Amino acid sequence: MAAGLAVINAVIFDGKKFTRGNCVTVENGIIRAVTALKRGKKPAGSSVIIDAGGKILCPGFIDMHTHGADGIDSMRVMTGKDIMKISAAYAKCGVTSALLACFYKKGKSRLDEAVASCGGKFDGARILGTYMEGPFINMEKRGMIGKKFIFPAGGHPEKFLGKIMSERKTLRAMTVAPEMDRGFRIIKYLKKHSVIAAVGHTNSGYETTLEAIAAGALHVTHVFNAMRGFHHREPGPFMAAVEKGLTAEIICDGAHLHPAALKLVVKVIGAENLAIITDSTAMLGYPDGKYNSVVCGKIIIKGGAAYNNDGVLLGSCTPMNAMMRNMKKWGAASFVEILRMASYNPARILGLKDAGRIKTGSRADFALIDDEFNIYQTIVSGVPVEI
């Protein structure tokens, strides 16, 4: 880790609000101080000084739901080298921490082994662990998730979950359809073992979702996508989440949520409870066109989203900072709210005490941006990352 780093002449957003300081000093990857430095002055004891030139220094973005980047899908990760490539690709978008989303597959997890082999050191964004979609989800709402990744009806889900927990040491969150067999027990088990239980890929109704929340569900996987929709006689999981103040993920690529729907979500769930995610495919940031994916087969990227040949939405290819730019363009939230949704909010959802803030004692994870969310520098644990 770098010792003696300083960022000067910055407009500082501390994760919650803009501050009066303009200088952040770092020692051994941890923020030492946030101060107001007189123009022309340089902080003492800083061997590396980055002049922000009046740009915005904010906490590094946290993508808590992404399936890969740089042509590598999380389900096809083989080695630590693959993780490093994904990590470096995220950093180019201002992301300094991420959860790799995946599906359950029998046998040893190469993904878990690859993450562990990095020893907590990455070429860009820090990989915090994994976010498993399923296997306890509704077949009718599986979206692009293959049938082989879904737990069959009539089995023993609790026993199987115990097996998953013993095998997957990096598991931080799991998507569950609460209406499935013993869904509430699964949610209680996850809560007991400090894994976030997220309602998603579900046909659950309003009442059932309320029961799931009472059992310990805390979060909603990509709100409105792969779940029962709102109806005035059956409000579905969305209204249950609104009533009980759950946190939720939003995909702001213009395909997964219409801008009008996005505005509604921000208004009724509240900006303070939302996290912007990419739900990226391996083709994160790729231009529109036709591609071959080892996991999804032939895919078509159009307008920053990925589809199969039948037009089924597979995921997003829009980078985090571009998602944020969309939010601003559509007037879906204020600039401060957008920054919070990409930094402080996901840190709070994941229980990260040392991330998502620019304050003394926090990790020195930063993104240097302008008011259109263009990335000029990404810094992870006090180390500038090549972008």
Q: What is the pLDDT of residues 110-144, one digit of tens each?
A: 999 999 999 999 999 999 999 999 999 999 999 88
Tens digits of residue pLDDT in 294-317 = 667 788 999 999 998 888 899 999
Q: What is the mean pLDDT of residues 5-18?
A: 96
Contact of 279 with 268, CB cutoff 8 Å: no
3-state helix, strand, coil in the chain (%, to 5): 30, 30, 45
Query: How many Cα atoms occupy the beta-carbon half-sphere of 370 within 13 Å?
Result: 4
Q: What percent of the chain has pLDDT over 90?
A: 84
Q: What is the mean pLDDT of residues 255-260?
A: 97
When pLDDT is cut at 50, 70 and 90, the band that residue 154 belongs to is low
Q: What is the mean pLDDT of residues 8-37?
A: 95
Tens digits of residue pLDDT in 200-225 = 999 999 999 999 999 999 999 999 99
pLDDT at 2: 47
Q: Which residue has the higher pLDDT, 275 or 153?
A: 275
Q: Which residue has the higher pLDDT, 88 or 41?
A: 88
Find, among 240, 255, 171, the residue nearest to 200 by Cα: 240
**Cα(310)–Cα(307) distance, integer angstroms:** 8
Q: What is the mean pLDDT of residues 146-175?
A: 88
Q: What is the mean pLDDT of residues 333-352?
A: 98
Look at residue 1 and tell me whether its pLDDT is greater than 50: no
Please, what is the average pLDDT of the chain? 94
C-alpha angle 315/194/267, rounded to 5°?
Answer: 50
Q: Map out the domains of the chain with their CATH numbers.
A: 5-57+371-385 (2.30.40.10), 61-355 (3.20.20.140)
pLDDT at 41: 81
pLDDT at 249: 98
Look at residue 71 and tell me whether its pLDDT is greater than 90: yes
Q: Which residue has the higher pLDDT, 158 or 73?
A: 73
pLDDT at 61: 98
When pLDDT is cut at 50, 70 and 90, the band that residue 72 belongs to is very high
**Cα(213)–Cα(379) distance, integer angstroms:** 37
Look at residue 167 and tell me whether its pLDDT is greater than 80: yes
Alpha helices, H only, 225-319: 236-244, 259-269
